[in-house]
Chain A
Amino acid sequence: MIALLRRDLALAIRAGGGFGLGLAFFLILCILVPFGVGPDSGTLAKIAPGILWVGALLACLLSLDRIFQLDFEDGTLDLLATAPLPLEAVATTKALAHWITTGLPLTLAAAPLGQLLNLPAAAMPALVLGLALGTPALSVIGTFGAALTVGLKRGGLLISLLVLPLYMPTLLFGADAARRGAEGLETTTPLLLMTGISAASLALLPFATAAALRMNLR
């Protein structure tokens, strides 16, 4: 497992890997929205928490399709499936690698990007904490979606379709926490609920992911 994690991280960091690009996408989205919506800082502040969460979610989404796809296309996945590693471990490792390369940098970048969108300072703690607790769920759920669509050419957009509904609860609680933070309300309840989702996904979804992989390889 550690070998696999190390390899995935190495691949992400190498030329053409995905590291930092999810982050770049997030950055770009946060720049785009004001262009689309207009520069009025009052409006921006109002929608900032929601946009930041939607942005984090999309940045995750964009990097999902290749979690297994590349390994499938060049035959590595077949080889991994016949290796002594259980597929559940492969699924967990892949999700972890995805989080390290995507969720973690997003969480760290959220604070400065919030500035760009005039996010009220009061909303910051709830936003960052929410991302830290919620992005693991995004990675695990996304890995499941990727396992379902592995082997389909241009699975990328199909994953989005499958995974977005699953992302909904995380998004709702996360954005709600950040909005409440902005309004000075207490944020414990949504954050706790979200932590619950993350923990449950982490514990259970790898089994579903492994099952989906097995069916797809058949």
Chain B
Amino acid sequence: MSAAVTATYTADEMMAVAASRRLTDDNVCFVGIGLPSLAANLARHTHAPGCVLIYESGTIGAKPVELPLSIGDGELAETADAVVSVPEIFSYWLQSGRIDVGFLGAAQIDRHGNLNSTVIGPYEAPAVRLPGGGGAPEIALGVEHVFVLLRHSPRAFVEQLDFTTSLGDNLRVVITDLGLLERRDGELALVAVHPGVEVGDVLAATGWDLLVADDLGETEPPTDAELDALRALRTKGGG
């Protein structure tokens, strides 16, 4: 179903590359572990060496050589310009509006870009208790540009969230394993598909009638340079 089947790169790699391309050299980026960390560090190692990475553990300007496995790896502290307390990261740095990009993931997203990372089912008696919001609710409203990384499936892209953890107001793009979604007239629309992905694949993997942009494009496949940098990072662990 996803591009990974046919291509010489995986769907996760396509996601990471597509996400990294959204970062510019002067971004200050609030990064979570996993794909966001992979994407942000890929950007640092390719077109955006000046991009500042901030992890909620308090590391400002971290430049990990090896990808961190956890938000608080020692590597992050050792390579950071500054390490501050967790209360300070959320008050002086995030709340102050000094961070312009934030990556978020979620278990569910709706057509307005609102996110659920709290529960599946009713809050009082959930079918699945998820980890919870963590930094997401304030990141979602505290940065100018929210990038969401989320694999496409009808269980994730739902008509109705079971719980609204974070608001989609500042969401700029949703990067999935199938394509890219952006807001059109306040509602998420498919604006690009990854190479080898049919629009039908995306519609089938979305739990609501997904708008498709008139100017639908196709994502540039990862370049060799991007894949080399990406795989060099991954072999160093994590991602």
Do A and B form a real pair? Answer: no
Which A positions have Cβ atoms within 8 angstroms of B? none
Which B positions have Cβ atoms within 8 angstroms of A? none
